[in-house]
Amino acid sequence: MAGLRLDKDNTQGFTLLPEGEYEVYPVAFAKETAQSSGNKMAQFNYTVRDDVDQEGKGEMIRFDNFVETDGALWRINQASEAAGLDMDKEYPEGVWQWAEDFVNKAVRVVVGHRTYNGRTFPEVREFKPSLYGGTYTPPAKEAGGSAATATPTEPIDISDDDLPF
């Protein structure tokens, strides 16, 4: 982008992704610790695929958490099966190690809405196998790149103001 031009007609920010099913790639994850339990957590961002004819192309779905607990293992299993991961594989280092296998794999997600503090956000509620398959290849990171193109080994800076809950 060369220079900056203000536009009074472009002040709405993002539009809420409608509820429904979307073909996505999990494009980035952060290694976090759940505040309430202290358990390991992988926090994913997804990009709605722009190579598939669907609403919301290029939109982001942010802050999808996979917490390492027995009660939440079903969700990791559902996402893994949808991504075509080896369902017999073990991850001795836990959810962060699993996240490295899950990132960039094509999946279809069912999105609902969640309201928190008066704001409504898209929320991933279910994982299904992609109808189109594929693997996302992140572009080469340039100086000043964003977290959306970060590789799994790079931390993603997220402040409390960015979280919908």
Give me the pLDDT at residue 8, please. Answer: 78
The pLDDT of residue 154 is above 60 = no
What are the extents of the domains in the chain? 20-136
The pLDDT of residue 70 is above 90 = yes
Q: How many CB atoms lie within 10 A of CB 48?
A: 21
More confident residue, 4 or 63: 63
| Mean pLDDT score of the chain | 87
More confident residue, 62 or 15: 62
> Region 52-68: what's the mean pLDDT?
95
Give me the pLDDT at residue 6, please. Answer: 85
The highest-level CATH class for domain 20-136 is mainly beta
> Region 125-151: what's the mean pLDDT?
76
- For the entire predicted model, the pTM comes to 0.77
Calpha distance 34→120 (Å, rounded):
22
CB distance 127 to 107 below 8 Å: yes
> Region 4-25: what's the mean pLDDT?
85
Calpha distance 37→95 (Å, rounded):
15
